[in-house]
Amino acid sequence: MIRIFAAVAAILWLVSGVGAMCADVAGAYAWESLADRMRSEGCWDGLAATSLAALPNPSPEPMGRKVKELYFSKFVRPFLKGPKKKLPPLYPNVVLPESAARCREYIAANKAAFDETERRFGVPPDIVSSLLYVETRLGTALGTRLVLYTLASMAVTRQADQLGTWLNGLDIGDDRRPWLSEVLKKRSDWAYKELKTFLDYCRANNIDPLTVPGSFYGALGICQFMPSSIAGYAADGNGDGVIDLFDPDDAVASVGRYLSLNGWTPNGGRKEWHAALKRYNHEDRYANTILALADLVRGDAPRKKAAVSKPRKR
């Protein structure tokens, strides 16, 4: 399975133009500060060296995107005039008969994995498949960025002048400089830890880091785990000794294990299930959508009130 994604990731990388910038201009030089930090912590090895040397220059995109999001939350959204727009209680275009049909097909195609996950972790197929539908459309939308490149780029983006045009349109005066510095430090340290964990995961499971696609911020696999979640929550669903989150067997089991370790119990009831789902993603809409889609997958009519929580006021 990983080999298939290796090919896909390589193609996406080249198509995006990233590959064209590669090798001759960047090499290890652009990543020297990162290499120094990893050497000082004793976690620099051949895998880290060869993987980083194959990347183009760091991209300002992941950190720039995060800074923009945080800027908007802190300095714009609270001061918007006019009536506050409430978010709908469900993600749009998800709780539909055709989505439920795709979930049922996916369950049928991976029946042993879903059955075993329910037996081991008490999380039923309708919930796990609905979560995977929301995360990656059952593995058909896995992200187009290399996890390694995303995390390494964020880890080395520690100064405002590295963000380039990503600061355009933001009002960062002297009074907001400390805020920006703090964001850059905190987020780059976060990415650095995720990067180290990602490389550990690759080493342990014999995965080439240059083949793993992910989301904007480095979540990976059909179940979109951050590397730091893998160690604590991922499961080897098919018992082959490898955790491959691009393999439905392991992704299904990992969702079951994550939810069961975060409060899901088979007889817990809707409120408890809602809370467990919010440990996966903190949005009310996320949990609402999965519960409502799972109702459709089971063939129940979506419950109007009990199924959903009102969105929190923003």
Residue ranges that bind Ca ion, judged by CB under 5 A? 236, 238, 240, 242, 250
Q: What is the smallest separation between the CB atom of 201 and Ca ion, expressed in angstroms?
A: 13
Q: What is the smallest separation between the CB atom of 2 and Ca ion, expressed in angstroms?
A: 11
* Cβ proximity of 254 and 225 under 8 Å: yes
Output 276-281 pairs: Cβ under 8 A, ≥24 positions apart: 277/131, 280/131
Q: What is the smallest separation between the CB atom of 222 and Ca ion, expressed in angstroms?
A: 12
Judged by beta carbon, residue 55 or residue 123, the one nearer Ca ion is 123
Judged by beta carbon, residue 160 or residue 242, the one nearer Ca ion is 242
Judged by beta carbon, residue 198 or residue 273, the one nearer Ca ion is 198
Judged by beta carbon, residue 208 or residue 283, the one nearer Ca ion is 208
Pair of tokens at residue 73:
């939350």
Q: What is the smallest separation between the CB atom of 282 and Ca ion, expressed in angstroms?
A: 28
Q: What is the smallest separation between the CB atom of 72 and Ca ion, expressed in angstroms?
A: 40
Judged by beta carbon, residue 118 or residue 250, the one nearer Ca ion is 250
Q: What is the smallest separation between the CB atom of 243 and Ca ion, expressed in angstroms?
A: 6
Q: What is the smallest separation between the CB atom of 115 and Ca ion, expressed in angstroms?
A: 16
Residue labelled with tokens 């275009």: 93
Judged by beta carbon, residue 69 or residue 240, the one nearer Ca ion is 240
Judged by beta carbon, residue 31 or residue 114, the one nearer Ca ion is 114
